[in-house]
Copies of this chain bind each other. A is one copy, B any other.
Amino acid sequence: MSASRARAPGAATGSQGGGGEGPPAGGAKSPDKRRLILDAAVRVFARQGFHACRVSDIADEAGVAYGLVYHYFASKDEVLDTLFLERWEVMLQLIRDVDAKPLPVREKLGAIASFIIDSYSHDPDLMKVIIVEVTRAANSFGDTHIGTIREAYELIGAIVEKAQADGYFKPEIEARFAAMAFYGVIEQLLTGWIFDLLPQGQEELERAKWVVIETVCGGLEIDAVSDGTTAGNRLLR
């Protein structure tokens, strides 16, 4: 119906502190059913996929009645929209913050790669859902959020551009392409973990951060220590 409703004003990440499921116990209201539904949806979407699951699966997983899902969300779509936007917004903010700091490119891009990989490490299901059902779904959801997704690419592109202007990165590789390449490497690694094509111990994830930077920056940087000696030996088609 009326386009997007955009609930969830603040960041609202936190909570989820303790472990148990059980009833409220404490004094305050019941622990935000809305959040309960959202978290359950992540699990269900990750397990069965957005299209293959029913709204009742989400309700069951959350342990609430079917109708309550529609009390908090206008539609099944809105549940996914909310999950995506909530997380993507956090990432956009991180990129902006990182960009604002006076750091070398390697560290800026490293911080972004780390954030994404840590996000996966912290909540693999959520990242799976975002990537599989939104980011990579050119039809349906990808189309709806294309503007938001694009913003991330542009922000990264701006970082690359600045690095080029400062003489750290080769100017002949267009910044937009470089940004896509950088993001593509990260997303493909996540995909590898999601599909279980790549080993995913804590150690591997940590090492992957280094690999991303080493691979991409290595190719983007002007050769070596900018000593002048080894510059432009084999490139320049």
Chain A residues proximal to chain B, CB less than 8 Å:
48-49, 51-52, 106, 128, 131-132, 136-140, 142, 146, 149-150, 153, 170, 173-174, 176-178, 180-181, 183-189, 191-192, 194-195, 197-198, 208, 210-212, 214-221, 223-225, 227, 230, 233-235, 237
Contact = CB atoms under 8 A, between A and B. Distances in A.
Number of copies: 2
B195 A177 contact: no
Given A132-B137, A176-B192, A188-B188, 12 more contacts: A49-B139, A136-B136, A136-B191, A173-B214, A177-B189, A177-B198, A181-B212, A185-B188, A219-B219, A219-B220, A223-B224, A225-B233
Nearest to A47: B139
A188 B191 contact: no
Chain A interface mostly helix, strand, loop or mixed? helix
Contacts of A138: 49, 128, 131-132, 191, 194-195
A188 to B, nearest CB: 3
B210 A177 contact: no
A134 to B, nearest CB: 11
What are the nearest 3 A-B pairs in CB distance? A184-B188, A49-B139, A218-B219
A128 B186 CA distance: 20
Contacts of A153: 192, 197
B139 A52 contact: yes
Contact of A192 (B106, B180, B234): B180
A185 B134 CA distance: 19
Contacts of A187: 184, 188
Contacts of A194: 138
A184 B116 CA distance: 15
A224 B215 contact: no
Contact of A189 (B132, B184, B221, B230): B184
A214 B139 CA distance: 31
B214 A216 contact: no
A227 to B, nearest CB: 7
B189 A180 contact: yes
